[in-house]
Structure 1
Amino acid sequence: MKEIADSELLELIRQSNYPAFDELYQRYWKYIYTIAFRKLGDRDDAADLTQNVFMEFYDKRKGLIVNIPVKNYLRTAMLYKLSNYFRTKGFQEKHYLNFQHFHQHSPESDSSFDLLAKRENEMEFEEMVELIYRTIDEMPEKMKEIFLLSRTEQYSIMEMAEKLALSPQTIKNQISKALSRIREVAAKNDLTVAQVMILIWLTQP
């Protein structure tokens, strides 16, 4: 089984081949679990969501339509689970502090997750996730680097200026331009800026 490609495993899983499913699980459970744990900060909750993702994957096996790499499909499924998790359980303090550092201003946390989760169709959620990846990937390289340093690693303006050998004003300008792009994406896709920022937070390591 270890030499079989993901696409072949998927065909076997559709035929209810449990060893094929177990191989797929062994390949990706740590990756999926890590995504959940980094956002939740709770090992038990992360493990529960990981199990749910794989259980639902197997339960839907016969009618499963996977148009992207299996790893990406499972990642999107976990992001969808996380969105629903925060909608139903709310932002606990540990989540809020983590996201607040990322967002850098008061987020519409609960209401934004609620609105995201109203897009109950997983395919629509998958499209939103791919939109976020595209939005970040399409940023000029330096803008993307600065934006992610400021949002995912919580670098200050001065720390980024020192790290990248740029002036603080240049850093501020690049962040401002990145946020302008995000506002445009939000407006074109019937999302608030806070919702887009939540999706970025969910999708970044």
Structure 2
Amino acid sequence: MEAIDAILLSRLGQGDAHAYTVLFERYWKFLYAVAYRRLQDEELAQDIVQEVFMQVWDKRDKLTLTPEYIEYYLLKAVKNRVINHYTSQRAKAEALQRVMHRMEAVVEESAYQPSRYLELERFLDEQVEQLPDTMRAVFLMRSDNRSIQEIAQKLHIAEQTVKNHLTEASHRLRRSLLKKFSDEELAGLIIAVAVLTNN
């Protein structure tokens, strides 16, 4: 797969529209699923993924991506746009951005390859799916930067119940991650990116 991506990236840098189309088709379904899972809006999810690919095309001659980084780059770009969509409070946005910057630094400073990071993220997604229904809904809505109050109103539950679900979900996910992965800081940072539990 990386060999194919290497060829596509090389041709993309030369302005090859066909290479761009092939790259789009290779990653579109995965990135759309990531966006839709967080937005629950087909049109908006499509728009976000298309915007990411348009940005790739616009910067095609400036991108310095290696094949093993392309999926990580695209995934991060989609998630950033989802976060931007939901962000309404500057302090919360800045806190989330700091955590994301630290997570990127950990990945760069450690022996983790982007593929390892992606493996960890996918494992986290699998574990989220195994949470009880209400707890999962709370976690996913909070990961999209919804407020505690908004989640409570949407799910018709008390705000304290929302907080309790978030705390328990974070504990469960952290335990699961640490059973499979040894890097405690990276595991904690990924959960922090997924859900900020401050009001």
Which bracket does the TM-score occupy, shorter chain normalised?
Answer: 0.5 to 0.7
Instruction: List aligned pairs for 1:10-21, cutoff 5 A.
Output: 21=19
Aligned residue number for residue 191 of structure 1: 184
Residues 1:46 and 1:108: Cα distance change in structure 2 (over 3 Å): farther
1:150 paired residue among 142, 146, 162? 142
Partner-residue secondary structure (3-state), 1:166: coil
1:24 corresponding residue in structure 2: 22
Q: CA deviation at 1:198?
A: 5.2
Residue 143 of structure 1 deviates from its aligned partner by 0.9
Give the structure 1 partner of residue 36 of structure 2: none
1:143–1:175: 8 Å Cα contact kept in structure 2?
A: yes
Identify the residue that residue 173 of structure 1 maps to in structure 2.
Answer: 164
Superposed counterparts of 1:132-143, under 5 Å: 132-143=124-135
Amino acid at match of 1:149: M
Q: 1-side partners of 2:123 and 2:62: how far apart?
A: 27
Change (3 A) 1:49 1:19: closer
> What TM-score, normalized to structure 2?
0.53
Q: CA RMSD in A?
A: 4.8
TM-aligned CA distance change 1:160 to 1:191, over 3 Å: same
Q: Closer, same or farther in 2 for the Cα pair 1:29/1:99, shift >3 Å?
A: farther
Which one of the candidate residues 105, 118, 134 is aligned to 1:126? 118
1:1-205 → structure 2 map (5 Å cutoff): 21-27=19-25, 34=48, 48=59, 52=63, 56-57=66-67, 75-79=71-75, 97-98=92-93, 100=95, 110-117=101-108, 118-156=110-148, 158-188=149-179, 189=181, 190-192=183-185, 194-197=188-191, 200=194
Normalised by the size of structure 1, how large is the TM-score?
0.51
Change (3 A) 1:51 1:27: farther
Q: CA 1:153–1:52 in 2, change beyond 3 Å: closer, same or farther?
A: same
Larger Cα-atom Rg: 1
SS of the counterpart of 1:153? coil
Distance 1:175 1:19, change over 3 A: closer
On the 8 A contact 2:124/2:173 being kept in 1, the answer is no
Q: 1:50 to 1:182 in 2, by over 3 A?
A: farther
| Structure 1 stretches lacking a partner, 5+ long | 1-6, 61-72, 83-94
CA distance in 2, matches of 1:174, 1:191: 22
Report how far residue 195 of structure 1 moved.
1.7
Kept in 1, the 8 Å contact 2:129–2:136? The answer is yes
| Paired residue total | 156
